[in-house]
């Protein structure tokens, strides 16, 4: 393997968190705030795919599904490279470059005629983001002791939210005051924003890369692909014999499907159903981001008092109430309040899930393979959630029913999680 980390080293922890600062601009600007409404506004209401007409909102959901399906197929390969090849940093760099360059290519997505360029570049950016997370998350249990994992995980999300908000505010300024910047084409500020995301992502990641250990210098072993799939199969076999991890991952699969679907479709829903303008949608996302910073730390604090399980279950209850409220919402001000509730739990549910799983891996040597499996479940869950959301939208032409359908994921996840015994911490679990 590559060079080992010094546990709880402050410089290493900050460098790890700074990668969240770098790549979270994709999660905010591309997957949530700017690209989704831009995609639906610049494309035709219906798009023909292999002779079948679907709404542009459904197409957007299907593109997200396709991206996460592709990354799910290559995850075992990534696991093998990380565990056997000692090339974790090499491929973290590769996926960062893939994602950043793909965001820059979105600049050329300027009209409905370029829809396939926009779809492919967005798909590749999504793969770059998801692929990089495999290697990034696998570092967590190696750099932080169990008693600090929750706070370090929350710190990563907080860094990500702060950095991405700064970048989004710069893009918002161009969108709101185009004449000040000399823009005459209304699409230019948004498209320049995509370029800024790519540069931000690649540029800030270099800070993390400088402080991460170097990879092994020897070449990749032969049959690395087969070893990767074999390793994931081995991890699955081990997980089946570990009830706590197995039951947690099943619950995680359901509720994270709902969470990631909300991340990708929230602004599309606001634009299509409630008629939000670009500035209003970005303000909505800023509300979510700012509250998410506090939410990550708040639910880490709840975990310290009552345990990870209580922290997660309380958030799932809020998620269910959010979906119910979104189904009935008609007023923009009410939607802002719903967005605030989303912000409270969107960072906390991800941070607590990641740190809970990391605690479960104490003593496991193959963290990358275990986290590869974790990401595999997350990605397949995203495929399931976004596909079902798009399918309901396609057959009903009403996104409210799609939102209502997300309740299923949160309810099932909550029921399954309530039956999981968290043995790694106090009886408060």
Residue 148 belongs to a domain = yes
Residue 378 belongs to a domain = yes
Q: Splitting the chain (429 residues) into consecutive groups of 10 residues, what average pLDDT does each group show?
A: 67 90 92 86 83 82 87 75 68 94 97 91 91 80 77 83 89 90 90 97 93 66 66 82 89 95 86 83 82 83 87 95 94 92 89 84 64 82 91 90 94 93 57
SS (H, E, C) 286-349: HHHHHHHHHHHHHHHHHHHHHCHHHHHHHHHHHHHHHHHHHHHCCCHHHHHHHHHHHHHHHHHH
Residue 425 belongs to a domain = no
The beta-carbon contacts of 196-199 under 8 Å, at least 24 apart in sequence, are: 196/167, 196/170, 196/171, 197/25, 197/26, 197/29, 197/30, 197/100, 197/103, 197/167, 198/99, 198/100, 198/101, 198/102, 198/103, 198/104, 199/100, 199/104
Residue 5: predicted pLDDT? 59
Residue 249 belongs to a domain = yes
Tokens read off for 240: 């089946």
At 54 the three-state DSSP class reads: strand
> Count of domains in the chain?
1
Residue 220: predicted pLDDT? 60
Residue 428 belongs to a domain = no
Residue 427 belongs to a domain = no
Residue 225: predicted pLDDT? 63
Residue 4 belongs to a domain = no
Residue 315: predicted pLDDT? 95
Query: CB of 425 within 8 A of CB of 334?
Result: no
Indicate which CATH number applies to the domain containing 132. 1.20.1250.20
Residue 221: predicted pLDDT? 60
Residue 40 lies in domain: 12-213+223-418
Residue 336 belongs to a domain = yes
Buried b (16+ CB within 10 A) or exposed e, 71-103: bbeebbbbbbbbbbbbbbbbbbbbbbbbbbbbb
């Amino acid at each position: 393997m590559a060079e080992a980390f010094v546990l709880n080293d402050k410089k290493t922890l900050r460098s790890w968190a700074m990668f969240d600062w770098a790549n979270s601009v994709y999660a905010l600007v591309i997957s949530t705030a700017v690209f989704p409404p831009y995609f639906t506004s610049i494309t035709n209401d219906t798009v023909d795919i292999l002779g079948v007409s679907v709404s542009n909102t459904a197409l957007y959901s299907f593109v997200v599904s396709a991206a996460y399906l592709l990354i799910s197929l290559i995850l075992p390969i990534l696991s093998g490279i990380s565990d056997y090849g000692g090339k974790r940093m090499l491929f973290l760099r590769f996926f960062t470059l893939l994602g950043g360059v793909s965001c820059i290519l979105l600049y050329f997505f300027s009209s409905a005629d370029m829809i396939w360029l926009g779809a492919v570049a967005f798909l590749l950016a999504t793969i770059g983001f998801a692929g990089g997370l495999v290697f990034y998350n696998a570092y967590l249990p190696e750099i932080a002791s169990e008693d600090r994992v929750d706070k370090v995980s929350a710190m990563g999300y907080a860094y990500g939210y702060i950095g991405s908000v700064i970048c989004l505010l710069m893009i918002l300024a161009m969108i709101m005051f185009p004449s000040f910047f000399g823009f005459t084409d209304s699409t230019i500020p948004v498209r320049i924003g995509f370029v800024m995301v790519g540069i931000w992502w690649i540029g800030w990641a270099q800070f993390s890369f400088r402080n991460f250990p170097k990879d092994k210098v020897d070449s990749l072993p032969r049959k690395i692909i087969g070893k990767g799939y074999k390793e994931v199969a081995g991890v699955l076999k081990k997980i089946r014999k570990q009830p706590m991890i197995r039951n947690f991952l099943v619950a995680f699969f359901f509720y994270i499907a709902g969470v990631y679907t909300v991340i990708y479709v929230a602004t599309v829903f606001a634009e299509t159903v409630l008629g939000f303008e670009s500035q209003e949608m970005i303000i909505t996302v800023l509300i979510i981001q700012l509250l998410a910073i506090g939410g990550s730390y708040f639910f880490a604090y709840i975990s310290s008092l009552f345990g990870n399980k209580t922290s997660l279950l309380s958030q799932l209850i809020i998620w269910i109430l959010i979906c119910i409220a979104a189904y009935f919402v008609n007023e923009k001000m009410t939607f802002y309040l719903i967005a605030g509730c989303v912000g409270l739990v969107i960072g906390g549910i991800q941070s607590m899930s990641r740190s809970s799983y990391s605690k479960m891996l104490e003593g496991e040597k193959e963290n990358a393979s275990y986290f590869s499996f974790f990401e595999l479940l997350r990605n397949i869950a995203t495929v399931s959630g976004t596909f079902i959301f798009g399918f309901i939208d396609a057959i009903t032409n009403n996104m409210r029913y799609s939102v209502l359908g997300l309740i299923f994921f949160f309810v099932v996840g909550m029921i399954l999680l309530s039956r999981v015994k968290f043995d790694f911490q106090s009886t408060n679990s």
